[in-house]
Chains A and B, each alone.
Chain A
Amino acid sequence: QSALTQPASVSGSPGQSITISCTGTSSDVGSYNLVSWYQQHPGKAPKLMIYEDSERPSGVSNRFSASKSGNTASLTISGLQPEDEADYYCCSYASSSTLVFGGGTKLTVL
């Protein structure tokens, strides 16, 4: 159960687009369509942004999208807004009723 690999930080200016990668292995990200993404503001509980690789829950802005290729999943935020500044985590099913998170990425909106 090794943590998925995310960049520690990314940044972008308002209106721009950014992409956060999440690299796993053929035992987790690459084997199942079960990657989810979470946004966490300081002092708050995480919020589901994407599930099943690329599905967006109702109520989540369509500025958030996701994809996957092989063992790497990606979250893209378009039209960056100040309120998007937060920590973002990916998570994948990893067999035998276990899940694994990425280390998290701090998004700074410049």
Chain B
Amino acid sequence: AQKVTQAQTEISVVEKEDVTLDCVYETRDTTYYLFWYKQPPSGELVFLIRRNSFDEQNEISGRYSWNFQKSTSSFNFTITASQVVDSAVYFCALSESSGGGADGLTFGKGTHLIIQP
């Protein structure tokens, strides 16, 4: 079963519009972390945010904001007043605390965001 679902494969908006990228996750752990990464055409995954499961406060960083709702297992990402430089693939990822040792992240399939000038 897919643990991180990004149902929007591709979104295209005109510059200055607001856009929300959806992320729904699945876990049995009570302690877990959620992440968002941005992947521009250059390929590097750029870390945007990390949120633990006990902190449901929404976060705002400039034009970026995140809405974490445990009741719906969602961690959505909103870009306000989008710009062409925001065009990229955005990944939501989950890390669960159960088990021992190091582990990688479980990623969603990503949402390709296109901002048109």
Do the two chains belong together in a single complex? no
